[in-house]
Every structure is written in structure tokens, then in C-alpha cells.
Amino acid sequence: MSIYAISDLHLSLATDKPMDIFGPIWQDHDKRIAENWDAIVTGDDVVLIAGDDSWATKFEDASADLEYIAARPGTKIMIRGNHDYWWRRESTRRIQRVLDPSIHLMHGRGMVIEGVGITGTRGWRVEDIRDSEAGDRRVLNRELGYLARGLDEIPADVIKKIVILHYPPFNSDLSPNEFAALLAQHKVDMLVYGHIHSGGYMEGDVNGIDYRLVSVDHTGFRPVLVC
């Protein structure tokens, strides 16, 4: 088994949201992702998808995008991104029941696959959380709680701990925020994240944790091997 990661697929197979409005790099991006994915990943592998999976605002409208993901090889572990309006957190269990069995929705829970502990949640935006409004602080605390719960569910004897976040655990000036502190507290080995398409980002060893930015326009529209 190999573990791959990818993020920000921004699929819109049943909605009118062409990604090439953001530049020619996005031309036919869904076809390029499929070709690369199918060439790299096998049915025995796991693919971590770090949010912004579909532009759909309703679950019914996301069906074509989810079928596209289901058709790709491997077991898919998905978290919510800031644009995944089709996936309401309170509907996670209901949605999971009707999905293809190769897709697993992860929302603040922990799991172990062949000795590797995996958990994830959306996280919160990269603006300085010290300036957050009261409502933002409630969302932030809720997301921190989901991550803490998922990390607590991973046994101590795993060979590696991987966290999937959509938003990275740092502010817009790259200073670490409360998510980074939680990762350090639980001795996480690797962080997989997305959301970032331009501007500053961090990769590699960050205070002992291997940071991986896996937004598709950063990875060449292909899943990247992480474990």
C-alpha cells in the first residue's frame, strides 16, 4: 500500500463553473487529474483528498463529481474544504451511507490503515486568528475540537501520524496558529493541506512535522506520494 495526497480538485462536472477562468493552467484540469491519477495510483493504495472537492452547493448536484472521484483507483479519504457546500457537516453520516464504498468522509475522527494513523478536518482560514470575530472564534474552536478528537482516537503505537487539513495551520504571514500547536502536542509526523494557490506557503520540515501542500495546481494536477 502507498498513500498519496491531492487537494482542491474543484470539480464542476454538473455545474457551470469552468476553472480556466482562473488561468490557462486550469484548462481541462479534470481530464488531466484523471489521466495522472489513473496512471499512478493502484487499487491497493490510499488517496487523501484535502478538501474543495466539488463546486456544487447541493449534494444532488455533486453526484457527477463524486462519481468521478469514485471511478479513480484506490481508497479515497476526503475532508471538507471551504467551498464544499454540498457536504454539510451535520449530514456526514447520511451522505456516507449513499457514497461509493471507496470514498470515506473524514470529519474529526481517527482511523488506522496498515499501522498509519490518519485524521483530518477542515481547519480555519489563514487570516490572523487574533483578529477573528466572535463567530469566527466559535468556528475555530469547533474545528480545533474536531482535530483534537481525531488525534485522540489514534492509538499511540502507530508507525506514523498523518493529519489532513484544508486550511494550513499558519496565518497569512506564515506564523503558526493554534492548529500548529495541536499538531506539535500530539507529535504528528506529517501534515497534508491544500487551499493555497498563490502567495506564501510552507513545505518540508516545520518544527519536526513534514508539511505537504497538495493543491492540484501546485502538484502538477497529480496525486503525490506521501507515505
List the beta bridge partners of residue 75. 46
The per-residue pLDDT of the chain, averaged, comes to 92
Beta bridge partners of 48: 5, 77
Q: Which residues pair with 44 in a beta bridge?
A: none
Quick one: pLDDT at residue 129? 56
Q: How confident is the model at residue 89 (pLDDT cuts 50, 70, 90)?
A: confident
Categorize the per-residue pLDDT at 181 as very low, low, confident or very high, splitting at 50, 70 and 90.
very high
Which residues form the domain of 96?
3-225
Distances (CA, A) of 116 to 8, 19, 89, 203, 225: 23, 34, 25, 21, 14
Q: How many domains does the chain have?
A: 1
What is the C-alpha separation between 87 and 91, in angstroms, rounded?
7
pLDDT of 126 higher than 80? no
- Which of the four pLDDT bands, split at 50, 70 and 90, describes residue 37? very high
pLDDT in tens, 56-71: 999 999 999 999 999 9
pLDDT of residue 114 exceeding 60, the answer is: yes
The predicted pLDDT at position 21 comes to 63
CATH number at residue 112: 3.60.21.10
Give the pairing of strands 110-113 and 116-121: antiparallel
Contact between 209 and 184 under an 8 Å Cβ cutoff? The reply is yes
Question: What average pLDDT does this structure show over 177-192?
Answer: 96
Residue 131 has pLDDT above 80, yes or no: no
The rounded distance, in Å, linking the Cα atoms of 63 and 101 is 14
Give percent above pLDDT 90 in the chain. Answer: 81
* Cβ-proximal residues to 3 (8 Å cutoff; 6+ apart), any chain: 45, 46, 47, 48, 113, 116, 162, 225, 226, 227
Higher per-residue pLDDT: 95 or 15: 95
